[in-house]
Amino acid sequence: MFNVDEIRADFPILNREVHGKKLVYFDNGATSQTPQVVIDAIVDYYSNYNANIHRGVHTLSQEATDKYEEARLKVQKHFNAKQSYEIILTTGTTHSINIVASGFAALLKEGDEVIVSALEHHSNIVPWQMLCEKTGAILKVIPMDEDGSLRMDVYHELLNAKTKLVFCNHVSNALGTINPIKEIIHAAHKFGAYVLIDGAQAVPHIKPDVQELDVDFYVASAHKMCGPTGVGLLYGKEELLNLLPPYQGGGEMIETVTFEKTTYAGLPHKFEAGTPNICGGIAFGAAIDYMNEIGFENIAKQESELLAYGTEELEKIENLKIYGTTNKASVISFNIEGIHPYDIGSILDKLGVAVRTGHHCAQPIMNFYCIPGTVRASFAFYNTKEEIDVLVASLKRAQMMLS
């Protein structure tokens, strides 16, 4: 059974104080906290079998290689990829997107069209703009609505025979919107376009099935799902990963090298040049095990209760406006009239409450609402209603001090 007190005991950091107050951590959308089992996996690696992988004949190297490849299998199983080599271990979402965007530079031509959503994180906008600059392809945007949903009617009109790629996040980090990615993928495929889904903000809440989604590329970061920073995944369909040229040259990604010609290694090594984040990959595997032990149904239930309670309580605060009111994950993005989000965030910090303030790497969304930014409280399964009460009381105090 799901017991939030027991779960909180798995996270040593939740016991710490900030400015003499008990920490209330509501910045899970930026990075999640790390359970002891994941910390232990990191300590175990450096204490017992730290070695470079794939090249050594000695025991430590073989142990590290086995554990690293075991982690890849855990990622494969979690996302239900058909083949383990369709899972490329990267440094995170940003890296994964850049591998695909730079690969398509060789495959697009002038006048081709690519479609992005208005709800994207900068890391799912800028690499595609760079791709368009390089190739002469044209970037089109699916606009958004006041409630934070995508204008799917416009999306269907944007699609045509020239559309080659569509990229969209599964869950918006700025507003929490859960996008209709199945519809997006299905519609794009009718025109022969490939789809990349940025799952960075979805993976803490949802267990995606890449085969069921029939998605071409799915990317995410470990650090948003209880894993360490500096590691993530690129899932790609085998035939598409084979189509893309390598992103970086170096060790590990080659088959043979002479000064006349180099041949590349097969998947997944073709995209894994250099020594990877070995420890991070192994700890990512431990994080996946941990989240599955908690269970994604339990996670969803706890988070939807927090979202409902938090929304209800925040709406009672005078002059508070919530951005993004459509079907969404446990994220509340809001402003209090007449007060800059940064000032609210600073006072909340003094009261021990960690939230995000600013544009959340999604300036186009802020431009849409004509605001400089928002305060974002993002909840994880280890948060509680009592913590939401602390947030609400702290907001009322901030409001009194600032208005």
The residues carrying an active-site annotation are: 361
Residue with smaller CB distance to ligand PLP, 124 or 399 = 124
Taking the mean position of all CA atoms in its chain, how far away is CA 42? 21
Residue with smaller CB distance to ligand PLP, 93 or 277 = 93
Peptide bond into 35 cis (omega under 30): no
Taking the mean position of all CA atoms in its chain, how far away is CA 232? 9
Is residue 221 close enough to count as binding ligand PLP by CB under 6 A?
A: yes
The one among 124, 302, 335, 399 contacting ligand PLP by CB under 6 A: 124
First-residue to last-residue Cα distance in the chain: 45
**Sole window of 16-24, 121-129, 208-216, 377-385 interacting with ligand PLP (rule: CB under 6 A):** 121-129
Complete edge-to-edge strand list for the sheet that includes strand 320-323: 320-323, 331-336, 374-378, 356-358
Is residue 177 close enough to count as binding ligand PLP by CB under 6 A?
A: no
Tokens of 90: 């990267």
The one among 10, 27, 198, 272 contacting ligand PLP by CB under 6 A: 198
163-169 and 194-198 beta bridge pairing: parallel
Is residue 283 close enough to count as binding ligand PLP by CB under 6 A?
A: no
The one among 65, 135, 173, 384 contacting ligand PLP by CB under 6 A: 173
Select from 129, 127, 128, 157 the least CA-distant residue to 142.
Answer: 157
Q: Any residues with CB less than 8 A from the CB of 344 and at least 6 apart, and which?
A: 336, 355, 357, 375, 395, 398, 402
Is residue 93 close enough to count as binding ligand PLP by CB under 6 A?
A: yes
Least spacing, CB of residue 232 vs ligand PLP, in Å: 6
Least spacing, CB of residue 388 vs ligand PLP, in Å: 22
Residue with smaller CB distance to ligand PLP, 78 or 121 = 121
Q: Rounded to whole angstroms, how far apart are CA atoms 389 and 109? A: 54
Least spacing, CB of residue 146 vs ligand PLP, in Å: 21
Do residues 357 and 344 make contact, with C-beta atoms less than 8 angstroms apart?
A: yes
Is residue 28 close enough to count as binding ligand PLP by CB under 6 A?
A: no
Residue with smaller CB distance to ligand PLP, 176 or 341 = 176
Q: Rounded to whole angstroms, how far apart are CA atoms 99 and 351? A: 41
Beta strand extents in 100-172 (DSSP E only) = 113-117, 138-142, 163-169
Is residue 117 close enough to count as binding ligand PLP by CB under 6 A?
A: no
The one among 35, 92, 268, 352 contacting ligand PLP by CB under 6 A: 92
Is residue 76 close enough to count as binding ligand PLP by CB under 6 A?
A: no
Q: In sequence order, what DSSP letters do the residues of 178-209 get, joined into one string?
A: B--HHHHHHHHHHTT-EEEEE-TTTTTT----
Tokens of 85: 């080599």
Least spacing, CB of residue 212 vs ligand PLP, in Å: 21
**Sole window of 15-23, 117-125, 130-138, 330-338 interacting with ligand PLP (rule: CB under 6 A):** 117-125
Is residue 200 close enough to count as binding ligand PLP by CB under 6 A?
A: yes
Tokens of 357: 């303030």
**Sole window of 196-204, 275-283, 297-305, 322-330 interacting with ligand PLP (rule: CB under 6 A):** 196-204
Residue with smaller CB distance to ligand PLP, 135 or 169 = 169
Is residue 201 close enough to count as binding ligand PLP by CB under 6 A?
A: yes
The one among 76, 169, 330, 335 contacting ligand PLP by CB under 6 A: 169
Select from 235, 223, 227, 233 the least CA-distant residue to 195.
Answer: 235
Q: Kindly calculate the radius of gyration of the chain based on its CA atoms and give it in whole angstroms.
A: 22
Tokens of 6: 């027991």
Residue with smaller CB distance to ligand PLP, 28 or 394 = 28
**Sole window of 76-84, 92-100, 240-248, 298-306 interacting with ligand PLP (rule: CB under 6 A):** 92-100
List phi, psi (to 5°) of 136: 80, 10
At 51, is the secondary structure helix, strand, or coil? coil
Within 13 Å, how many C-alpha atoms sit on residue 353's CB side? Answer: 28
**Sole window of 197-205, 239-247, 370-378, 381-389 interacting with ligand PLP (rule: CB under 6 A):** 197-205
Binding marks (x or -) toward ligand PLP, 288..327, rule CB under 6 A? ----------------------------------------
Select from 192, 200, 139 the least CA-distant residue to 164.
Answer: 192
**Sole window of 120-128, 176-184, 239-247, 383-391 interacting with ligand PLP (rule: CB under 6 A):** 120-128
Binding site for ligand PLP (CB under 6 A): 92-94, 121, 123-124, 169, 173, 198, 200-201, 221
